[in-house]
């Protein structure tokens, strides 16, 4: 679904900018792209995700209540869970962006459609453009987001290569453990895991006022997921 958490904002602001290319899907941030929410400006994002859920207009029910500053439903969306396993594996091959102020990320987040406490997240990677070079770093781990039974456990991991080249991340979660790998090497092993439905989000952010050259881009080359339940 080519919208970033569309229930917390309006369709013109949540809509992804992207191209279908021979080597995958190229996410874009364009010069004329609006901020995701006026309250979060300057912050722009192009995102693809595998499900949506929201409560009624004006309520605070919805997938990924990741802020505590008064998120409310502005666009009521249907519950659509195209891929939302409670345990499983996903492989994602991407080329990150070195464009100014950008971040490429992939998250598995609780749908919250059955219980608002099911809010945890497996953060597969967050790659800041400023952290990319001959060697690169990313943030990876688990975020609780207030969900019971989880503790936020995030750290930086090193990638011994330029993350703008195609490379593959893997997340395997279930039975109380989350394993995250990059290019076949385990970079995180966390002794906890969400045990409820999660949707996948892959997104390119521009964080800060518009500047530099546009479009700013990153590429999703492939995604493959397995449901273990």
pLDDT digits (tens, 9 = 90+) for 27-79: 999 999 999 999 999 999 999 999 999 999 999 999 998 877 779 999 999 99
Domain of 219, CATH number, reads 2.60.120.200
Report the domain count for the chain: 1
Q: pLDDT tens across 190-219, in order?
A: 999 999 999 999 999 999 999 999 999 999
Structural domain contains residue 216? yes
Tell me if 179 sits within 8 A of 87, measured CB to CB: no
**Could you list the residue range(s) of the whole structural domain that residue 92 is in?**
6-227
Check whether 152 has a pLDDT greater than 90: yes
Does residue 1 belong to any structural domain of this protein? Answer: no
Q: pLDDT digits over 114-149, tens only?
A: 999 999 999 999 999 999 999 999 999 999 998 889
Output the six-digit token pair for 2.
Answer: 């080519």
Q: Which residues pair with 102 in a beta bridge?
A: 206
Strand segments (E) across 31-120: 43-49, 51-52, 80-81, 88-95, 102-110
Q: Is residue 91 part of a domain?
A: yes
Give the integer Cα–Cα distance in Å for 122 and 218.
Answer: 21
Instruction: Please tell me the predicted confidence (pLDDT) of residue 70.
Output: 78
In-domain check, residue 33: yes
pLDDT, residue 28, reads: 98
pTM of the full predicted structure? 0.97
The vertex-85 CA angle with 127 and 186, nearest 5°, equals: 45
Provide the pLDDT for residue 68. Answer: 73
């Amino acid at each position: 679904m080519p919208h970033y958490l569309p229930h917390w904002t309006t369709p013109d602001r949540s809509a992804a900018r992207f191209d279908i290319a021979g080597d995958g899907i190229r996410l874009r941030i364009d010069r004329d792209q609006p901020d995701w929410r006026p309250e979060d400006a300057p912050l722009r994002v192009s995102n693809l995700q595998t499900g949506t859920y929201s409560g009624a207009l004006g309520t605070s029910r919805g997938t990924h209540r990741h802020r505590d500053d008064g998120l409310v439903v502005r666009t009521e969306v249907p519950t659509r869970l195209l891929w939302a396993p409670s345990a499983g594996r996903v492989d994602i091959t991407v080329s990150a962006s070195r464009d100014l102020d950008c971040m490429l990320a992939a998250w598995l987040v609780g749908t919250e459609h059955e219980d608002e406490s099911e809010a945890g997240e497996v953060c597969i990677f967050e790659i800041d453009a400023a952290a990319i070079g001959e060697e690169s770093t990313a943030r990876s781990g688990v975020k609780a987001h207030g969900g019971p039974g989880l503790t936020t456990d995030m750290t930086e991991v090193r990638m011994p290569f330029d993350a703008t080249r195609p490379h593959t991340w893997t997340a395997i979660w279930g039975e109380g453990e989350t394993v995250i790998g990059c290019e076949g090497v385990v970079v995180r092993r966390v002794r906890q895991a969400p045990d409820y439905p999660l949707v996948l989000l892959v997104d390119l952010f521009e964080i800060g006022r518009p500047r530099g050259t546009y479009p700013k881009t990153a590429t999703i080359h492939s995604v493959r997921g397995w449901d273990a339940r």
